[in-house]
Amino acid sequence: MLLKPGHALTALSLHNAPPVFYPLGRSSFLGGLLLGLWLAGALLTLAWASLASLSGGLLLAAGAAVALSGVAAALHWKNTPSGQLAWDGQAWCWVSAADPAGLAAPDAAVVADLQRWLLLRLESQSGACLWLWAERQSAPERWLALRRAVYSPHRFSGTAQPHGALADGAFPCVSSAASAVAVSTTMHPIQTPRPTP
């Protein structure tokens, strides 16, 4: 028996992507990108300084601007948050050592997809926003599961609250009794991720 194309699509889109944990940390791609941009700026400043007759003060200011931008880029890269990004089938949760309470978000927006790298933007219901770089090399065995989760349409049942929501609509991210992601009761603790077959 053949199904109509519209019917098959409806049947396939009724389910959310399966749960996934993904480790995130300092991105080598972001580090290379920041270094490349800084080097380009430094070379352009050098070329400008050699072609124009600049006073000592202007040359000093240009050099200080290049040095400060390099320090800012290095500090930004060094302070990139690291932790676990989790999808429980209904909502996203970010947990890190710096933020043990975590950040729960109903959706993760893909800002840039470079196939081996994803720039994700999580926004909680309270408006808190977090930008995260995901790299395939962090967990190659889970990369496709993460991609499926960020790109799958998310369906909530019409009558029930979103999975893990409290009566006031808040999304609890971390259980106070244990340091595990608790967006839903079906997720596994961060310390003991499910083995891959």
Q: Could you give the CA distance from residue 102 to residue 97 in angstroms, rounded to a whole number?
A: 9
How many domains does the chain fold into? 1
Domain coverage including residue 47:
28-78
pLDDT of residue 68: 96
**Per-residue pLDDT tens digits for 39-62:** 999 999 988 888 887 778 888 898
**Per-residue pLDDT tens digits for 55-108:** 788 888 988 999 999 999 999 899 888 899 999 888 899 998 887 778 888 889
Does residue 146 belong to any structural domain of this protein?
no
Q: Is the dihedral of CA 82, 88, 93, 96 positive or negative?
A: negative
Does residue 50 belong to any structural domain of this protein?
yes
Q: Which of helix, strand or coil describes residue 158? A: coil
For residue 59, give every residue at least 6 positions away whose Cβ sits within 8 Å of its Cβ, in sequence order, or none.
49
Does residue 47 belong to any structural domain of this protein?
yes
